[in-house]
Amino acid sequence: MTITTIINYGTNEYRFIKKSIDSVRPFSNRIIVTFAYNFYDGSEENIEMLKKTFEENPGVEFLNIEYDSNKPSNFHWCSYSRKFAVEKSNIESDYILFMDADEIIDSNLFIKFINDKDFSYGSDFKLLSYWYFREPIYRAKSHEDSTILMFRQTLKIENVMYQDRTSLFNNSTNTKFRAMTYKNEIMVHHFSWVRTKEEMLKKISTWGHKRDRDWKKLVEHEFSHEFNGTDFIHGYQYEIVDSIFI
């Protein structure tokens, strides 16, 4: 079985991208990383850091998505990047794995999963993930599912435009497996909010949910104190774990 992995990237995720790419190398026959020379809000990217990313990750197809200020929202941009990658890359793999740059796969577990005799070939999968906040040692006791593995033959990539990966998965007509693990072991580590204060402020100014809440005020308050065991996004409770990836 062949897999193409598509990863959305901006340099605010630089600390994760090499580990994200390396985590999918063992099972991906192609790795495509989308980027633009602007962040989703139109601000200029860090060109030197982009060049450094290209140099540090040989064998990866870096796909430039030309920035268009007429896109209706940052969230639309995130979805469009995935759509563009599929439409322009002539992907013939059996499956496409859609990731963000702050998601890291446990490749050993994932390989066991796709090689298992009970793997449901032709189905689509939404993978359960661990979720981290502030530092990579703080792992939420609650789990999420965002990374998706989609069967290429029946993929309708236009569905991604409604609600990003969730709509792409939900609108599939294939058999669907949600919150997927391998023998109850979680295969994805999502470091979405493992950030410095400056990185968090950049994240909230450029992501698709920036108008949902007064994020700047929440970030400023968060960094006015040490981590207190919960987050301001979901209110999850946390455990302390060894930092094995970051």
HEC assignment per residue over 51-92: HHHHHHCCCCEEEECCCCCCCCCHHHHHHHHHHHHHHHCCCC
| 63, 32 Cβ separation under 8 angstroms | yes
Neighbouring-strand partners of residue 124: 176
Please give the pLDDT value at position 75. 65
Take residue 67 and report the two structure tokens written for it: 């920035």
User: What is the rounded distance in angstroms from the CA atom of residue 206 to the CA atom of residue 40?
Assistant: 5
Q: Which of 46-55, 112-121, 211-220 has the lowest mean pLDDT?
A: 211-220
User: What is the rounded distance in angstroms from the CA atom of residue 205 to the CA atom of residue 211?
Assistant: 9
Q: Which of 80-84, 95-99, 140-144, 147-151 has the lowest mean pLDDT?
A: 80-84
What average pLDDT does the structure give for the chain? 93
If one counts every other C-beta atom within 10 angstroms of the C-beta of residue 115, the result is 10
Please give the pLDDT value at position 163. 83
Q: What is the pTM of this model?
A: 0.94
Which residue, among 49, 206, 33, 199, has the nearest Cα to 103 in the 3D structure?
33
Which residue, among 238, 234, 230, 232, has the nearest Cα to 140 in the 3D structure?
238
DSSP secondary-structure letter at 43?
P
Please give the pLDDT value at position 71. 62
Cβ contacts of residue 205 below 8 Å, gap of 6+? 41, 43
Please give the pLDDT value at position 104. 98
3-191 CATH, one of 3.40.50.720, 3.30.70.360, 3.90.550.10, 3.60.70.12:
3.90.550.10
| 147, 6 Cβ separation under 8 angstroms | no
Please give the pLDDT value at position 218. 95
Take residue 215 and report the two structure tokens written for it: 């994020």
User: What is the rounded distance in angstroms from the CA atom of residue 174 to the CA atom of residue 187?
Assistant: 22
pLDDT digits (tens, 9 = 90+) for 53-81: 999 999 999 999 988 776 656 667 888 89
Q: At what angle do helices 74-88 and 160-170 cross, to 10 degrees?
A: 70
Would you kindly state where each structural domain of the chain is located, as residue ranges?
Answer: 3-191
- The dihedral through the CA atoms of 97, 140, 18, 33 has a sign that is positive
